[in-house]
Amino acid sequence: MLCHSVVTWEVEGLQTVGILLVVCSSLKLMHFLGLIDISMTDSVEDDFELSTVCHRPESMDKLQEQTKFTKKELQVLYRGFKNECPSGVVNEENFKNIYSQFFPQGDSSMYAHFLFEAFDTNKNGSVSFEDFVFGLSIILRGTINDRLNWAFNLYDLNKDGCITKEEMLDIMKSIYDMMGKYTYPTMQDDAPREHVESFFQKMDRNKDGVVTIDEFIESCKKDENIMQSMQLFDNVI
């Protein structure tokens, strides 16, 4: 199990846990929505139908063209999304509440905030079904480069094309708050900063103090653990 492997990760490898948590969190979210291990033979709606919604998604045919999901898969995804989000959208507070159920032993609010920002591509303060499936399409069906680009965008907090030590420290603190303090109770308060330094030693190839998308992708592709985690995306739904 990926989630179990994350929490039992060696301390020296914690700088890669953030990448793995993208996988873990996405799978947990799909499990919460009832999308993993769901029977594809169950009856599903013929099209997007919702009696009272704040947001009505685009047509299924259009979403099928824009994503790498089949019509049947989109129907299943929508059924789960509709059941948990009857208004048709998820705001950040609801998103945080969902993730607090995934990681009850820690404080997942900051990591959930970062993940919400990555899904909220329109920057309108809500995640629609379209936002949801576009993100999942990349995470579950995209190429290795697609998936790593998505992860890089998650960590590039100000979206300026590079990851700074300050941004990575915020990410590491959010991961540490969510699981590190409870997984590794003997770790010191400066542990997140130490892991940031380790991250930059590994990924900042030209030692200019920032990690670019090219450095990030190159380094991740050379990390056997990250590459193995990518295989867990396949055939999820």
Q: What is the pLDDT of residue 140?
A: 83
What's the confidence (pLDDT) of residue 86?
Answer: 83
Question: b/e per residue, 179-202, with b = 16+ CB within 10 A?
Answer: bbeebeeebeeebbeebbebbbeb
Query: Quick one: average pLDDT of 121-145?
Result: 89
Question: How many CB atoms lie under 10 A from the CB of residue 86?
Answer: 13
| Of 80-94, 128-142, 168-182, highest mean pLDDT | 128-142
| CATH (residue range 16-233) | 1.10.238.10
* CA angle centred on 101, ends 99 and 102, rounded to 5°: 65
Q: Tell me: the pLDDT tens digits for 150-176?
A: 989 999 999 999 999 999 999 988 888
Computed over every residue of the chain, the mean pLDDT equals 76
Cα distance between residue 160 and residue 139, in whole Å: 22
Would residue 123 be called left, alpha or beta, if left means φ above 0 and alpha means ψ between -120 and 50 degrees?
left
Greatest mean pLDDT among 17-31, 181-195, 216-230 lies in: 216-230
Residue 85: Cβ within 10 Å count: 23
Examine the pLDDT at 236 and tell me if it is beyond 50.
Answer: yes
Residue 42 makes CB contacts below 8 A (sequence gap 6+) with none
- What does the pLDDT read at residue 165? 96
- The arithmetic mean of pLDDT across residues 212-237, rounded, is 80
Q: Which of 73 and 19 is assigned the larger pLDDT? A: 73
Domain ranges of the chain: 16-233
